[in-house]
Amino acid sequence: MNVSDATFDLLEAEFNAPSVRNPSAALPNRQWAEDAAAKQRAGVPPFPPGVVAARPAFDTKKMRELLDMNNFELRDSLYELFKNPVFVPRYNETLDEERARTIQRWRLIAKTGVFHEALRIFTVKGRQRYEATLESVGAIDHSLDIKMGVHYGLFGGTVSLMGDDDQGARWMPKIESCEMLGCFSMTELGHGSNVKGIQTTAVYDIPSRTFVVNTPCEEAQKYWIGGAFQSARWTALFAQLYVKGVCHGVHPFLVRIRNEDGTPVKGVTMGDCGAKSGLNGVDNGRIWFSNLHVPLDHLLRRHSQVSVDGNFTCNFKSSDERFGASLASLSGGRVSVAAGSLIQAKLGLTIAIRYGLSRKAFGPPGEEETRLMDYPGYQTRLIPPLATTFVMQLVLNHLKSKWQRRELGRELHVWSSGFKALISWHALSTLQETREACGGQGYKAENRIAPLKSTHDVALTYEGDNHILLQTVTKAVLPEFVRGFKNDGNFEGHFSYLNDREALRRVDLSTTDPRSAMYALTVMRRREAALFARLAAEIQKKIAAGMSSLQAFNHSAVLVEDAGRAHVDLLMLQLFHQTLSDLKSRGETELVNILTLCGALHTARLIDSQVIFLRNGALSAKDAQNVHSNVQIFCMQLRPHVLHLVDSFGYPPHLLAPIAFDYVSHNSRSRL
């Protein structure tokens, strides 16, 4: 018996839901998926009923490879594994059943060995394999990919990144094999986004050579800790480190919270966070500590060390630098949240667009009714978010590459914070639109969109509240703008485009191709420059009136967030057009043409939906009217390609829903 089997035998006994382990339990009606798969085996594309698709204008296989980046065979092998009845989606299960089913599914994934040596040494290939696995799992069970992500990514990632090489070699093999199941204890009841303010303490005791961990008040209880209530035996604990009476700020520790038989260790109390509006397969818990002794060598010491006799040393000159480095695992978490968000958006769009191509409503008297997707109003609801999803996926791929190469700096922090915020917001609005676009069928659980929306919702606040994340983006970028402003308008780095402000002002948008990089970047730069100039002046004005710099920043929060959003929107379009340029240089004309159209629609919809562009002089009223018209024009131009675009996401039929195929046969009386 291997380690994973031993661990999961214990877990399945603890997560006691006999109905889940009953092989004879009735499965939902999946004939629709079998019919679609039979068509594929016969060489017939499983298009929605009545849909005849022309030859694609681009190679869908190449598009999928561009989007997924790597590990295509691994992804497909996991999709094949998901045909196992254990993975068939169930709805209206009890809390115990959902948690037990998540463990059962995790066991099957772990037994494939996919995580072996994926994380212990932070390599590009290992990280790619890990991310490909979680992205694939997220397409079938979001609870499962979150629970696994907490263990491997947050817990394991903290040990790998924050522990030194000896600690990583000692613990990471056991984490990968699930011998050491863990969770990530940062959030407290009274502190979420403000990590510096957490109150859990770890006081170094010289005589015992241990850190004594305590929860000093009820607000300091660790809260929302995924896996803490039942499964985790260990945790990556973040606490205020005290040595010889001096607080050295928040540091990570590896802490045992349960014995192998599942009972809490002495000094640890745990409770259940209870049922949630989604992700109920994850056993979120609460943790209190009372004089828990943690061995000296369990301080994760890559950046800070405490000697036996109580001397504190740190590899960084400032506490802010050390604090930023200690949160590196959060950047990886935000990358995963952004990737998972796009998975949910892709699934919702694939299901809704296929339904819209088949479902009919109204039409000329005596003639066939019109397909939903042929109504301009329906197109403007679903095609813009489809275009944005392509743009954001290609942008996210740049961030994933940076993270995989372990480029842990300010740029990674800005990208991961900003992209996570905008991508998760986009996914939720997309799922809401796709739910409504499918009418009552979109509200039916078996059609997946409504449950996807419920499980995705929390992505807007975990791994950082989105509003706070945009503020941190501005906080990181504003000093660069102010330096250029104070240097007689000579800007460096990102804001160097302002060194020729007259050229930026002179661009005539009415004669510029709205599909071009010039058009998109001009409008985005004008907005960003105007907002950062206003913000710098506003903060300076408040400081002159007697406020501290912190107060001035906080009292400008709305403008701060607007500036952060403008910066991230610009970054995304810069990276997107960089991808188009790379594709052009490789001769991928077909991909460039369709993606250029996606980028144009994304840009037009972005501008059209926010009055802030007009308010800050990024374009004229006449230009704004042209943008509004272009939204419909670009939707009509993309309409013939929507089926092939969603097919390029690569999801097989059994990951979709009945309304994506022959929903009439599925709902027929003969299938009752």
Which domain-ending residue is among 316, 351, 386?
316
- Rank 106-120, 293-307, 317-331 by mean pLDDT and report only the highest: 293-307
Same domain, 131 and 190: no
The two tokens of residue 191 are 């502190």
Domain contains 130 = yes
Residue-wise pLDDT for 437-463, tens only, equals 999 999 999 999 999 999 999 999 988
Same domain, 428 and 472: no
Contacts 24+ apart (CB under 8 A), 217-222: 217/190, 218/189, 219/188, 219/189, 219/190, 219/191, 220/188, 220/189, 220/190, 221/188, 221/189, 221/286, 221/287, 221/288, 222/185, 222/186, 222/187, 222/188, 222/286, 222/287, 222/288
Same domain, 471 and 606: yes
The two tokens of residue 613 are 């562009």
Domain contains 527 = yes
Q: What integer is the mean pLDDT of 600-623?
A: 95
The two tokens of residue 351 are 């299901």
* Sequence letter at residue 362: F
Q: What integer is the mean pLDDT of 89-99?
A: 91
CATH number at residue 210: 2.40.110.10
Residue-wise pLDDT for 225-263, tens only, equals 999 999 999 999 999 999 999 999 999 999 999 998 889
Q: What per-residue confidence (pLDDT) applies to 1? A: 39
Same domain, 29 and 65: yes
Q: What integer is the mean pLDDT of 59-81?
A: 97
Residue-wise pLDDT for 198-212, tens only, equals 999 999 999 999 999
Q: Which domain holds residue 598?
A: 466-641
Same domain, 290 and 168: no
Residue-wise pLDDT for 327-353, tens only, equals 666 678 899 999 999 999 999 999 999
What b/e readout covers 505-527, taking b as 16+ CB neighbours within 10 angstroms?
Answer: eebebeeeebbebebbbbbbbbb
Which domain-ending residue is among 120, 145, 176?
176
Same domain, 456 and 483: no
Domain contains 112 = yes
Q: What integer is the mean pLDDT of 360-377?
A: 91
Q: What integer is the mean pLDDT of 544-558?
A: 93
Residue-wise pLDDT for 299-312, tens only, equals 999 999 999 999 99
187 in a labelled binding site: yes
Q: What percentage of the chain reaches a pLDDT higher than 70?
A: 98
> Given pLDDT bands bounded at 50, 70 and 90, which one contains residue 564?
very high
Same domain, 288 and 209: yes
Q: What per-residue confidence (pLDDT) applies to 327? A: 65
**Catalytic-residue membership of 590:** no
Same domain, 39 and 172: yes
Domain contains 150 = yes
Which domain-ending residue is among 316, 350, 376?
316
Torsion of CA 45, 48, 51, 54, to 10 degrees: -40
The two tokens of residue 464 are 């950082």
In contact, 661 and 653? CB cutoff 8 Å: yes
Same domain, 286 and 385: no
- Number of domains the chain contains: 4
Same domain, 536 and 457: no
Same domain, 145 and 219: no
Domain contains 323 = no
- Among candidate residues 98, 188, 433, 463, the one labeled active-site is 463
Same domain, 432 and 495: no
CATH number at residue 512: 1.20.140.10
> Given pLDDT bands bounded at 50, 70 and 90, which one contains residue 17?
confident
pTM of the model: 0.94
Q: What per-residue confidence (pLDDT) applies to 632? A: 97
Residue 37 CB neighbour total at 10 angstroms:
16
